[in-house]
Amino acid sequence: MNKWWWLLLITLCWSCAGFAIFNSRHHQSTHIPTPDNINRIVSTAPSLTEILFALGLGDKIVGVTLQCNYPPAAAKKPKLGTFWQPNIEAVIAARPDLVITLGFDRQRNIAHRLKRIGYKCLTVNIEKVGDFFDAVEKIGTATDSRQQADELVSSIRKKLDNLSSLAGTGGKVRVLYVVQREPLRVAGRDTFVNEMIELAGGENAIAPTVHKYPPIASEQVYACNADVIIEAAMGQKEISGQQAGALRYWSRFKNTPAVINERIYVIDGDTVSRLGPRLYEGIETIARCLRPELFENKK
Amino acid sequence: MDKSLTAKKLIVTVTLALTLLVVVMFLCSLMGTERVSLRKVFGSTGPQELVNPDYEIFVSVRLPRIILAVIVGAALACAGVVFQAILRNPLADPYILGISSGAGLGAIIAVLSGLNWVFWGRSPIAVFAFAGAMGTIWLVWFIGRLTGKSHITGLLLAGVVVNAFFSAVIMFLTSVAKSEQVHSTIFWLMGNMAEEDFFVLWLSAGAVAAGILALFYISPQLNVISFGQDDARNMGVNVTAIQTIAFAAAAFITAVAVSLSGLIGFVGLIVPHGVRLVFGPDHRQLLPLSGIVGAIFLVAADTLARIIVAPAQLPVGVVTAIVGGPFFLVLLVKHTHKVGWLGK
């Protein structure tokens, strides 16, 4: 069995050599730019792109994802892969001073890989409405635009306060927020959509669930007794088409208040689901669906 | 068996194949979504230019990924050869005994637990996937032993059932997981190639090479075993010992491959068959050639996956199946009348 000992010996030597070569060479990251020195920014998510534009940093953006379509100027920026899979070669070729990513697995992974090569990355976690304000502050600090960040945050907060004083009167409207129709999937309690519904003066018709966005059966649709059903459409164009389909689809739940009163709305999902600077617009859209009468005299 | 496989003939064939591998690696390293000029990569690393994106793309992103493809491709193809030989089943591939679902289960548990640490440059997903793969294969082997003499059938059935069971657990976990977690698991299950630390590549290359070498040691006995266990026993081969070594080494290199890149299908099934159809069933030649051809195949497939829908990327498993399937069928029709299956 001599050859087996040789194999073991060589493998051990190889591994030791690996430790010797790679652990001695400490990877010092190349120059890390300071906040006032950041001129080339890459964003890996639509919401982050919107925040950057809202902070007046649009000119400094050198790369976005294929999903970044708002504001219109964002759609003209170079595309560096998708939201789920940013292309690391393209990101490096854009020579960014700062790469901003979201905090979930796929995006943390790209940030980790870029950091290893020596790029400056900022990872922000936006899962709740509160996280959004934190993220704006964080991005403002990292890009030397604290002032714009503060202004953005306070203007959105002010609008939200106005809305809540407007919508605060009267009882809560029970809302079913539909993410996808087949199979039927709605926003659960532990989501930012739920927060937005509450900020708009409503209440999620779905009781707490295991899933964040639970798939539900017809039985639960009847049980939740929703006053209003809101469907999120993918993009502006599909709203009218989906509206017609929605009425047909929901008519099967005859005894639900939302169906009886024909209170089924299709809205642009991007403003709600993106959790970006258009947060207020999203909440207002929901509020309009809940209490159209409140907004009638305003317009 | 083969007409006459001399050491010289073997060395010449393997050297030619290795040369082809190096050429393919070089060509693929020039292809990508970004245009990289070699002169820039190795020319102007002067201090006046602090950032050299060409160098970073080539050396830090593309090269490690190509080396990774070589390691994974070679490991999967060699493991495929060995599983086909010891299970005496042409449908066998490295995942047939449940390694895939065991690794998948490990990976999804790592994702769900939200762990976030690094162990020798590996993420929790990789470590759990490796542990899951090794644990599953041990379990299947153990159950297989319990079934007694007709070892192979018991082993296969145990593998199929364990596979189905773990797949069901995976489905259950994905259905209760958060959507963004599910997404990262799905990417992993479809085969996820990314650049790795050179340290990780170095260690994995060593592990895989050692495993393949061990399998090469026993390749003459594998030839005999593929005729049938009784014949092998009559010819003085210690069947149980050889099977154990083959099984352990093949499972080990598969687990390393899976922990590096997720589940990449098809390589371990069609490369061994393709090489067997063209070069004959002698394992002394089949094993090293399959390793090299597997590496070439995966490097090429991964390059396609990188560039075909740029700037986005495809999962490499899609490319291996779409490109490999038809190619294999052509080989099958052209060569089957020349050679039989599994050394018959």
Domain ranges of chain A: 35-155, 169-296
In what helix (H) or strand (E) does residue B50 lie, and over which residues does it extend?
A: none
Beta bridge partners of A186: A178
| Residue B340 lies inside a defined structural domain of this protein | no
Least confident span in A15-29, B113-127, B292-306: A15-29
Q: Name the pTM for this structure.
A: 0.86
In angstroms, rounded to a whole number, what is the distance separating the alpha carbons of residues A243 and A263? 11
Is A90 in Cβ contact with B206 (below 8 Å)?
A: no
Q: Which residues of B touch A14 (CB under 8 A)?
A: 202, 206, 209-210
Beta bridge partners of A264: A229
* Confidence tier at B340 by pLDDT (50, 70, 90): low
| Residue B244 lies inside a defined structural domain of this protein | yes
- pLDDT score recorded for residue B298: 95
**B239-243 mean pLDDT:** 86
Q: Which residues of B touch A68 (CB under 8 A)?
A: none
Model pLDDT for residues A130-182, shown as the tens digit of each residue = 899 999 999 999 988 889 999 999 999 998 888 888 776 667 888 999 888 87
| Residue B80 lies inside a defined structural domain of this protein | yes
Dihedrals φ, ψ of B114, to 5°? 65, 20
Candidates A3, A4, A92; nearest CB to B61? A92
Model pLDDT for residues B70-104, shown as the tens digit of each residue = 999 999 999 999 999 888 888 888 888 889 899 99
**A275-285 mean pLDDT:** 87
In angstroms, rounded to a whole number, what is the distance separating the alpha carbons of residues B151 and B309? 46
B229 has pLDDT over 90: no
- pLDDT score recorded for residue A299: 46
Looking at the domain that runs over A35-155, which CATH code has it been given?
3.40.50.1980
Candidates B33, B206, B310; nearest CB to A18? B206
Structure tokens at A216: 């539900």
Candidates B60, B202, B217; nearest CB to A3? B217
- pLDDT score recorded for residue B337: 64
Model pLDDT for residues A46-68, shown as the tens digit of each residue = 999 999 999 999 899 999 998 88
| Residue B153 lies inside a defined structural domain of this protein | yes
Q: Which fold has domain A169-296?
A: Rossmann fold (3.40.50)
Is A231 in a helix, a strand, or coil?
strand
Structure tokens at A18: 């690996």
* Measured CA distances, B293 to B18, B208, B218, B274, B327 (Å): 9, 15, 20, 9, 14
Secondary structure letter of residue B58 according to DSSP: I
Give the DSSP letter string of B250-317.
Answer: HHHHHHHHHHHH----SHHHHHHHHHHHHH-S-HHHHHHHHHHHHHHHHHHHHHHHHHTTTTS---HH
Give me the domain span that covers residue B151.
Answer: 7-335
| Residue B2 lies inside a defined structural domain of this protein | no
Residue with tokens 């899976």: B258
| Residue B68 lies inside a defined structural domain of this protein | yes
CB interface of A with B, residues 185-214, below 8 Å = 210-213
CB contact A161 to B (< 8 Å): no
In angstroms, rounded to a whole number, what is the distance separating the alpha carbons of residues B162 and B343? 29
What's the CATH code of the domain at B180? Answer: 1.10.3470.10
- pLDDT score recorded for residue B47: 47
In angstroms, rounded to a whole number, what is the distance separating the alpha carbons of residues B29 and A160? 53
Q: What are the helix (H) ranges across chain B?
A: 7-29, 38-42, 53-55, 63-87, 99-113, 124-146, 151-176, 179-189, 198-217, 219-225, 229-234, 239-261, 267-279, 283-307, 316-335
| Residue B342 lies inside a defined structural domain of this protein | no
Q: Which residues of A touch B197 (CB under 8 A)?
A: 22, 116
| Residue B66 lies inside a defined structural domain of this protein | yes
* Confidence tier at A257 by pLDDT (50, 70, 90): confident
CB contact A93 to B (< 8 Å): yes
* Measured CA distances, B24 to A224, B67, B302 (Å): 60, 12, 12
Q: Which of B202, B212, B219, B256 to mutate to test the interface with A (most CBs of A within 10 A)?
A: B202
At how many degrees (to 10) do helices B198-217 and A2-24 cross?
Answer: 170
In angstroms, rounded to a whole number, what is the distance separating the alpha carbons of residues B215 and B243? 11
Do you know the residue count of chain B?
344
User: Domains in chain B: how many in total?
Assistant: 1
Put residue A225 in one of left, alpha, beta given phi > 0 → left and psi -120 to 50 → alpha.
Answer: left
Residue with tokens 């709600």: A272
Candidates A18, A82, A213; nearest CB to B202? A18
Secondary structure letter of residue A58 according to DSSP: G
Evaluate whether ipTM surpasses 0.95. Answer: no
In angstroms, rounded to a whole number, what is the distance separating the alpha carbons of residues B194 and B88? 34
In angstroms, rounded to a whole number, what is the distance separating the alpha carbons of residues B299 and B316? 10
In angstroms, rounded to a whole number, what is the distance separating the alpha carbons of residues A142 and A207? 39
